[in-house]
Structure 1
Amino acid sequence: MTRTKTAREVALEVLVRVDEFKSYSNLELKAVLEREPLSAVDAGLVTELVYGTIQRRNTIDDVLSRFIKGKGGLAKLQPWVLHLLRLSLYQIRYLDRIPDRAAVHEAVEIAKRRGHQGIASLVNGVLRNVLRQPECFEVLPTGSLAKRLSVELSHPEWLVARWLKLYGEEATRAMCESNNLPPHTSVRTNQLKTGREELISAMLQHFPHARPSMLSAAGIVVDGGHVAGTSWFREGQCTIQDESSMLVAPALKPLPGQRVLDACAAPGGKTTHIAELMNNEGEIVACDVHAHKQELIRQNAKRLSIDIITPVVADAATLTTEEHGTFDRILLDAPCTGLGVIRRKPDLKWQKNINDIKQIAKLQAELLERVSKLLAPGGLLVYSTCTIDPEENQQVVERFVADHPEFELDTTLAADLPEAVSAQVQEKGYLQILPHQFQSDGFFISRLKRKA
């Protein structure tokens, strides 16, 4: 008879796979939770252990390095042993509801099953030494402010140093602290089917903290729970979307009957929002380079009873006016480093580096150059990203406008955004939301107009 894996064993398996394959923790989690017969409580614990351990890795490793002596330090450990120690220290330091002795005992048992007595003794010794010196978590390294913050708030030192230069100490600390919090859940009301207040009233019995979003007239914050399993979701009355992301479609200012191009559309959250704002009248070409994501767009549209979206498998950079004509509106939600969504994808901060920013900024500029040719005179183009780095955001659009006198930054963008963020639209007409400001994703939105 096959033994059922414990929540900690499953969490360890995910951590090892994320590290080994450089995959996204949310995708690995989804796969393992669908595969393993876990209770709802254990599934919640696995999720918290995986995200929390990855979020706090720098802090945990700094502590571990003081207890793993000898040549090679942490690098000499087998990867699964290092992840087991990280996982256990996360529980000891950050999860009050799990007794320390339970965390240590389970770690030792896993070490025995997966390794041998020698590894179990090492794990036991390290964890018990940490428990005898609880003040070890309060000790910060000497050196630069970036170094200290990187350990205290568990972010890569290069990234902290960059944010300090761009945003200053107060905002950098606030962003890092915000990134270490669990994300809340928010949904977008499908206003083709129901109204926001009506949906909130219906949801309150199961989601007692459901409340209107400050950032979107269609948004509802529900904090937690399994929204995708509700009848409202299945029947297409709502879709799951971050609040910041809900600002993009209104920024595009789509009108019923128009032709719209969503150049990087999958999985279709913003695409369907555009269709709802168009009252499901007109035409939306939803382009994505990945063939398997075409079906995601179709499924989302069908569930929401939207029929004006035509998915197209293509690289947005290869689209031509000869084949597709021109569009009244274009959304380029560009590929980016994703540094605004670290709260949702904590592995991102450990996988990215400064060269990634430079390389992706070059790709963004090329995409903007190509898709802009498909915009009709008088049309609007929204360039957006889920990152907070100016090199991927302001610098891309400012350089583009400087090189293309037929385009201008639309400084009237604020008029189409909710009051909560309209004051943050900068003089040149773009919006940069930082993760701590609304406890939502970090997002950049700009609107370009092609002169008639």
Structure 2
Amino acid sequence: MTPARRAALAALRQTLDRGQDIQAAVDHLLRDLAPSERPLATELAYGTVRLLGRIQALLRLLLPRFHRLSLLTRRLLELAAYELLFLRVPAHATRSWATQGAKKLLGAKLAALVHASLRRLEAHADLAHDETAFLASAGSIWEWFSLPAWIWALWEQERGLDAARELAAMSLTPAPVGVRLRGQVPPDIAERLRPVARFGGQKGMALETWPQCLEAAEAQGLAVRMSLASQEAVLGLEPLSWPQPVWDACAGRGGKALLVHDLGKQVLASDPNAFRLRGLRNDCRRLGVDLPILQADARKPPLRIPPGTILVDAPCSGLGVLARRPDIRWKRTPDDVTVLARLQAEILDAAGRTLPPGGMLAYLTCTVSRQENEGQLDRLRAQHPQLRLRHCFMTPPEWGEVFFAALLERS
């Protein structure tokens, strides 16, 4: 087994069996790999997690005792199945490393099972790419889209079948790399960005990859990494009209706080998580930005004077960013949505009490759940009738991520 495949297998174990975020697991393991090995390790880890539901359905069909195998055996089979079915690697090469790896890790008997299973899977490879054949032979519509049944049911019930299919298909397409441009980018760099740009926005782009030509711009603070959908969610709420100061009450790493600051607004950022705030402080130093930062719980506003605008980028279930964070689909539960909705309600209630007359409340999530989105607005306005909804929208799935955004004003 090559170092890249060993790292990918370890990342699967860390993510699926021990609960670590896939980005953290992969980033940690990449440190020990040669640069030439890193792309394959990343593709194998993210791709297997992204398509795990479809892969498992096929393995259960062809290997009835699949669910009885040890976790290590199943992860090895899932990793090899992703490579066999979805990457341009010769089938004999995949079978070879998987069998040898199984022999070393699991013993000769299970190595023979792995080899036979992959041969059988190769013979039925068409099922992995033909939805009609898959549904007739292997599994359900949610397994085809590699989703837990509850997420598919939620989207179909709340958004309808066509929208559910669109959201599910989006979740299987690797998310683009977002860039926000902070200044006047040299014309030659702008020209070199066009071939790798999927979409363009008001301040940035969604790119296929992060090109070498942006390295210098990033080092100079002219370009920062930020998804296009998250940028457009903020910009669509007309931040130039927001009264000052703007309090970003759930700032996290502060991407949105820095965006609003770059628009010329006075911004205060806070978050309860010290680790995320350290990252924000580092970004502020790198970009030469003087941003007041507090460690505080948004449910207990730390400000003596009410802010003009409160930005609530709320903790949420993340169902709109499954393309970027595919492990979320296997970690979230319906109970998580309820718990997070309760937290969101507490944060919004605190914001509603804090906001002065004429003040604005910008509410953002990266999820597709009425309980966390439209339902929160209905509840908030019923409890705070002085809040008037000015604007509400969701970013389109074709951007690779879905953000919900709403702007309210207190009369």
In the other structure, the counterpart of 1:259 is 245
1:158 Cα deviation after fit? 1.6
Contact kept, 8 Å, 2:316 with 2:366, in 1: the verdict is: yes
1:335·1:360 contact (CA, 8 Å) conserved in 2?
yes
Match of 1:350 among 327, 330, 338: 330
Q: Indicate how the Cα distance of structure 1 residues 102 and 142 shifts in structure 2: closer, same or farther if over 3 A, else same.
A: closer
Provide the C-alpha distance between the structure 1 equivalents of 2:289 and 2:213, rounded to a whole number of angstroms. 18
| Partner residue, 1:186 | 178
For structure 2, list consecutive stretches of 5 or more residues without a partner in the other structure.
none
- The one of 148, 154, 158 equivalent to 1:156 is 148
Partner residue of 1:420? none
In structure 2, relative to structure 1, the CA distance for the partners of 1:176 and 1:342 (3 Å cut) is same
Q: Distance in 2 between matches of 1:163 and 1:212?
A: 26
What does residue 298 of structure 1 align with? Answer: 281
**Letter in structure 2 aligned against 1:36:** D
1:328–1:227: structure 2 CA closer, same or farther, 3 Å change rule? farther
Shift of 1:354: 1.5
Tell me the equivalent position of 1:118.
109
Q: How do 1:435-450 and structure 2 match up within 5 A?
A: 435=397, 438-450=398-410
Match of 2:121 in 1: 130
2:135, 2:144 within 8 Å by CA — same for their partners in 1? no
Unaligned runs of at least 5 residues, structure 1: 411-428
In structure 2, distance between residues paired with 1:200 and 1:343? 31
Match of 1:313 in 2: 295
How many Å separate the matches in 2 of 1:212 and 1:20? 34
Identity %: 27
Instruction: Kindly provide the amino acid, as one letter, of the partner of residue 172 in structure 1.
Output: A
Tell me which residue corresponds to 1:417.
none
Please name the residue that 2:54 is paired with.
59
Please, what TM-score do these two structures have when normalized by structure 1? Answer: 0.84
1:6 equivalent in alignment to 2:3 = yes
Say whether the 8 Å CA contact 2:4–2:41 is kept in structure 1. yes
Are the equivalent residues in 1 in contact too, given 2:234–2:405 (CA < 8 A)? no
Aligned to 1:409: 389
* Alignment match of 2:364 (pick from 384, 387, 397): 384
CA gap 1:334/1:175 in 2 versus in 1, 3 angstroms: same
Cα gap change, 1:358 to 1:76, in 2 (>3 Å): same
Question: By how many angstroms is 1:136 displaced?
Answer: 4.7
- Check conservation: 2:206, 2:227, Cα contact below 8 A: no
Secondary structure of the corresponding residue to residue 309 of structure 2: strand
Please, which of 379, 382, 397 is the counterpart of residue 399 of structure 1? 379
**Whole-angstrom distance in 2 between the partners of 1:78 and 1:236:** 48
Per the alignment, residue 36 of structure 1 pairs with 32
- Displacement of 1:243 in angstroms is 1.0
**Contact 1:252–1:329 under 8 Å retained in 2:** no
Report the alpha carbon displacement of residue 39 of structure 1 after superposing the two structures with TM: 2.4
Once the two structures are superposed, residues 353-383 of structure 1 have per-residue CA deviations (whole angstroms, 9 ceiling, x without a partner) of 2221122111111110012222222111101
Q: Distance in 1 between matches of 2:250 and 2:148?
A: 29
Could you tell me which amino acid in structure 1 is paired with residue 247 of structure 2? L
Deviations 1:328-368 (A, max 9, x none): 11100000000000000111111112221122111111110
User: What secondary structure is seen at the aligned counterpart in 2 of 1:372?
Assistant: helix
Number of residues of Structure 1 aligned to a counterpart in Structure 2: 406
Kindly report the root-mean-square deviation, in angstroms, between the aligned alpha carbons of the 2 structures. 2.3
